[in-house]
Chains A and B, each alone.
Chain A
Amino acid sequence: MSARAPRTLFEKVWRNHQVRRASADAPAILYIDLHLVNEVTSPQAFSEIAERGLAVRRPDLTLATIDHAIPTLPPGLDGLRPFVSRAARDQVDRLQANAARHGIAFLGWDDPRRGIVHVIGPELGATQPGMTIVCGDSHTSTHGAFGALAFGIGTSEAAGVLASQCLPQRPPRQLLVDVQGVLPRHVTAKDLTLAIVGRLGASGGSGFAIEYGGQAIRALSMEERMTVCNMTIETGAKTGMIAPDETTLDYLRGRPLAPSASEWAEKSRRWLELRSDDDAVFDHRVTLDARGLAPMVTWGTTPDTAIAVDAIVPAPASADARRALDYMRLEAGRPIAGQPVDWVFLGSCTNGRLSDLRSAAEVLRRGGHIAPGVRMLVVPGSEQVRREAEAEGLDQLFLQAGAEWRLPGCSMCLGMNGDVTPPGQLVVSTSNRNFVGRQGPGARSILASPATAAACALAGAIADPRDYLERPAP
């Protein structure tokens, strides 16, 4: 009997879904277990299959919701929701109609399960270990936190998944990111993911699927793991995965779409087998030590420009870096702390979960009121996050601190819905991208954790959350 070849977690999930292997002149075909659909990247996919007279092959494996371009303010006195445009409103109606026509579950305005697609998938237990999950959104890698093979796709590919439940794919190479040690006190998963993206660079993951492992990763909660996997795409990697363990099972047990009690034992046993074999071969390995990390912020216009919040802005090493510093109006050689802040955005598929809101609240509790002149938007990632936060009084805490408490959605992460930072102003954002103009034309974005964002709101400037967190709670 020949020994079975050792495999990585990625390879195991890939093989389980390979309808056909890749050949020299054709890609592999992967079967997709869950297709998540939003209002913004789906209309042309539905048009495409309609024009061809095709049906949705597996509406039962498709889940639609609205998140990207929806207002986060409640309906006005006229009873109408304040969409940024007629076109944005029409997209929501269009998705609802497409979902109804094809028998796809649609989580719309009145659905208590509505939220950012990468927040609700896990929350509902729709996201499960070993699945293949795709969505017309690059942050689909979030679901890799469960040991799912999850990645963003284009709209044409989405049309293909609607029609065939499959996707042509070339297998990527394998990269292990091994994070040793444990995170220091007051250093969060967002700081870790910014450090990883900084270490790999904005294209350092290109051509790879990443597996995150090591003591620091194992110690993370599921929500923290989602934050880490979420930003994998900022390295250019196809996906980021973490092997399921007891933490994963504890999170999933009892969720609405998780396996029933009678199936649980068998499913969970299989899930725990989904890990890289001890002798699995990775094409590349990167090791980080979590123990030396500090709260991180970005100085440039790509997410890999992360430095410790108490560090100085580095001297530009390229024309791109000089351009980025000019755009950000930052000066090399000066501390980034103290840089005046105009806006703070707390939310997104990166950091819009309950633990993120709690983390920001811990800081605000110790600081009183946000600085005069600062506007802070707090946008829960889902209706469930909103309900849970309100149940523990976080909405009141944010409001009393001077922040705005909004309805769930992607909001200022990409500024599609009208929640934007005005030109020239600086926003500290818990989201994932600080690209030029991403959060509004001319907006200057600094990425940070929820705790750091809250500290910045209090100080009215880039600030170290540890300065607040080390104070006794009131």
Chain B
Amino acid sequence: MSAPNFPPLIRYTAPIVALPASGIDTDQLFPARFMTTTSRAGLGELLFHDWRHDAAGAKTSHRLNRMPPGGPAILVAGANFGCGSSREHAVWALADFGARVVISSVIAEIFAGNAVRNGVLPIVVEEAVVQRLMACDGGDLTVDLEHQRLTTPGLEDMPFAVDGFARRCLMEGVDALSWLLGQAQDIDAFERDRRNGRGGGGGC
């Protein structure tokens, strides 16, 4: 079984980076014109490129430009983070930038799935919790995935829910593709049943 391309995530402590806007879409996270890359590595420089660079390409004073390369960081964002395009480049850039946790009251489904597969934990909490965390902007937050708790000085611990499989993949370093290939017997059986006219409908 192959190992995933990320280290396990069990407890993670990093400064909160508050991004209060709602609907931060994947075009903001990773502008389309950079998707001509055929690589997944080294994309952190392009994360939020058009927020972090002016029209002439010079770096702006955006706070992300003042953060140490490679992180760590926890993004706490307005609702509907990661909406729009399915581009996994958004997550590759985020992971390379060094942010392994994203917290919002709504995280777009495709983005969340991409995140887990790249060792980034998407956490959905109520908007009130998001607001409380944003008020601690710049302060350290500890994400305890084992006990599913958020801890930051000055606030009571906050529980969070997470999909059981996502939790296992991140904590135990389960590689999703290897896991899927491990189900080959069931997949074979499904295809066999279909060929024999049993089960599985569809257009085929």
Chain A residues within 8 Å of B, Cβ to Cβ: 12-13, 16-17, 19-20, 24-27, 29, 31, 33-34, 40-41, 43-44, 47-48, 52, 54, 61, 68-69, 84-85, 87-88, 90-91, 94, 128-132, 136-138, 148, 152-157, 159-160, 163-166, 168, 170, 202-203, 206-207, 233, 236, 238, 267, 270-271, 301-302, 318-320, 323, 414-416, 423, 433, 435-438, 441-442
Cβ–Cβ contact A16 & B201, under 8 A: yes
Indicate if the CB atoms of B203 and A267 lie closer than 8 Å: yes
A441 CA to B27 CA, complexed, in Å: 10
* Closest A residue, CB atoms, query B36: A87
What A residues does B22 contact at CB under 8 A? 318, 320
Apart from A20-B186, A130-B201, A157-B113: 16 A-B pairs, beta carbons within 8 A:
A17-B201, A19-B187, A25-B164, A29-B183, A69-B36, A85-B36, A88-B36, A91-B36, A131-B202, A138-B85, A153-B86, A154-B87, A156-B117, A166-B183, A319-B20, A433-B25
Asked if A414 and B203 sit within 8 Å, CB to CB, the answer is: no
Q: Which residues of B contact A164 (CB under 8 A)?
A: 180-181, 183-184, 187
A138 engages B86 (CB within 8 Å): yes
Distance of B60 from chain A, by nearest CB (Å): 13
Does B33 count as interface, using CB distance less than 8 angstroms?
Answer: yes
- 30 interchain pairs, CB-CB under 8 A: A13-B201, A26-B164, A33-B204, A44-B39, A44-B40, A52-B177, A87-B38, A90-B36, A132-B202, A137-B85, A138-B85, A152-B86, A153-B86, A164-B183, A164-B187, A165-B187, A168-B176, A168-B179, A170-B163, A206-B80, A206-B109, A236-B106, A236-B108, A319-B21, A320-B21, A414-B27, A433-B25, A435-B25, A437-B27, A441-B31
Contacts of B199 in A (CB 8 A): 16
Task: Enumerate chain A residues within 8 angstroms of B165, measured Cβ to Cβ.
Answer: 25-27, 168
* A206 engages B106 (CB within 8 Å): yes
A69 to B55 alpha-carbon distance, docked (Å): 22
A-B contact count (CB 8 A): 199
- Verify B202–A33 contact, CB threshold 8 A: yes
Contacts of A69 in B (CB 8 A): 35-36
Asked if residues B84 and A29 are in contact (CB atoms below 8 Å), the reply is: no
B127 CB to closest chain A CB (Å) equals 12
Given A44-B38, A48-B177, A69-B36, residue A207 in contact with residue B109 (CB < 8 A): yes
A370 to B156, CA, bound (A): 62
Docked complex Cα distance between A33 and B186 (Å): 16
CA distance A156 to B79 in the complex (A): 25
Per the bound structure, the CA–CA distance linking A48 and B40 in Å amounts to 10
With A44-B39, A441-B31 as known contacts, state yes or no: A203 contacts B83, CB within 8 Å.
yes
Quote the shortest CB–CB distance from A472 to chain B (angstroms): 42
Name the distance in Å between B39's Cβ and chain A's nearest Cβ.
Answer: 7
Q: A233: which B residues are within 8 A, CB to CB?
A: 84
State the CA gap A160–B202 with chains docked (Å). Answer: 20
| In the A-B complex, the 4 residue pairs with the closest CB atoms | A128-B203, A87-B36, A16-B201, A154-B114
Query: A152 contacts B23, CB within 8 Å?
Result: no
Name B117-157 residues within 8 Å CB distance of A.
117-118
Contact yes or no, B80 A236, CB < 8 A: yes
Pairwise interchain contact B80-A437, C-beta atoms closer than 8 A: no
Bound together, the chains give a CA A213 to CA B188 distance in angstroms of: 36
Knowing A136-B86, A138-B86, A154-B117 touch, does A416 contact B28 (C-beta < 8 A)?
Answer: no
User: Which residues on A sit within 8 Å (CB–CB) of B109?
Assistant: 206-207, 236, 238
B78: chain A residues within 8 A (beta carbon): 320
**Measured CA separation A129–B110 after assembly (Å):** 23
Give Cα A318–Cα B21 distance, bound, in whole angstroms: 10
Q: Are A437 and B31 in contact (CB under 8 A)?
A: yes
The answer, yes or no, to whether B96 is at the interface (CB within 8 Å) is no
Interface string of B17-61 (1 = CB under 8 A from A): 000111101011001110111111000000000100001000000
